[in-house]
Amino acid sequence: MPELSVGQRCWTVASGSNLLDALNEAGLAVPYSCRAGSCHACLVRCVQGAPLDSNPTALAEHKREQGWRLACQCRVDSDLSVAVFDPQMDGLPAHVMESDWLSADVLRLRLVPELPFRYQAGQHLVLWTQSGVARPYSLASLPQEDRFLELHLDCRHPGAFSDVARLLKPGDCLRLGELRGGALHYDPDWQARPLWLLAAGTGLAPLWGILREALRQDHQGPIRLVHLARDEREHYLAGPLAELAACHSQLQVELLGAAELPTALQAMRLHSRQTVALLCGSPGSVEGFSRRLFLAGLPRNQMFADVFVGRG
């Protein structure tokens, strides 16, 4: 069986073991979200040896040349030594600018990095607490307009990260993992095409940034945004969305509860085969959205999805 080592630790794993699972089963707490090579939360650096990588194009070539790999996409088939992401060495310090509640369960964090931080609307980011707990989130901010990084945290349930997040106050420090991952983005080539943005829960966060980016770039096609929430109190951006819709005639906003979803999905009809759809939320909600869109005639290659795997 191959040996896997991190620093001074060395242990054997079954040949073909998923690298992310092997590291987390050994207690190394490598963060992850999508397990599909999209969120880039599970970055590790190969020190010696190379794993079998099932998705080599998920990382930029210069990252791969530096030894970085996405652990969720790799299998250990020979001896391998890796270094996990060290937030103190590899992370960027950032301070809490604002911490407030958008609803009973959704916490908005606005962070200011100590150094310039380049990103695109919809990009992922890993937050690290001072105690070393990490979770990936999608950015809701827009780099051309916001002077902070904004994230929306679902704090419904207790969790190692959300328990810390609830207590954060202005001035507190977190560490950022600078990432370029994320399946969601706005492409200027879509400007004349219908754009559908379908979100469940805090899956709205990256789509809020992407919506504003589309409007900033003067998107000409119709835009339809659908937000699914457990109840009306959890449509936490209802006010700002209504304000945008009032200013942009091409924007249609629909706020749905769980009981309304089946009927709303059945009623979805494509007016153009050129429609592009961006989907974000829990695995079940994204699957429901994508299945209905496919049945309505939207090709899979015109759907872009990020799935949130809640870990707290």
Closest CA to 236 of 168, 298, 311, 152: 152
Contact 142, 212 (CB under 8 A): yes
* 85, 111, 126 - which closes a domain: 85
Residue 183 within any structural domain of the chain: no
pLDDT band at 277 (very low <50, low <70, confident <90, very high): very high
The answer to whether residue 196 is domain-embedded is yes
- Taking residues 153-178, what's their average pLDDT? 91
Q: Which residue has the tokens 């509640």?
A: 101
Q: Of the residues 122, 142, 177, which one is the last residue of a structural domain? A: 177
Question: Over 80: is that where the pLDDT of 63 sits?
Answer: yes
Q: Do the domain assignments include residue 182?
A: no
Whether 248 contacts 222, CB under 8 Å:
no
pLDDT, position 171: 97
User: CA-CA distance, 269 to 197, in Å (whole number)?
Assistant: 14
Residue 312 lies in a domain: no
Same domain, 193 and 295: yes
- Regarding whether 72 and 96 lie in a shared domain, the answer is no
Query: What is the predicted pLDDT for the residue at 182?
Result: 64
Computed over every residue of the chain, the mean pLDDT equals 91
Q: Residue 123 is part of a domain; what is its CATH number?
A: 2.40.30.10
pLDDT the model gives residue 274 = 94
Say which CATH number the domain at 21 has: 3.10.20.30
Q: Which of 125, 152, 177 is the last residue of a domain?
A: 177
What was the pLDDT predicted at 268? 82
The CATH code of the domain that includes 204 is 3.40.50.80
Q: How far apart are CA 6 and CA 267, in angstroms?
A: 52
pTM score: 0.84
Whether 38 maps to a domain, the answer reads yes
240 in the same domain as 134 = no
Q: What is the pLDDT of residue 37?
A: 79
Q: Which domain holds residue 32?
A: 3-85
pLDDT band at 148; cut points 50, 70, 90? very high
Q: How many domains does the chain have?
A: 3
| Residues 99-138: tens digit of each pLDDT | 999 999 999 999 999 998 889 999 888 888 888 788 888 9
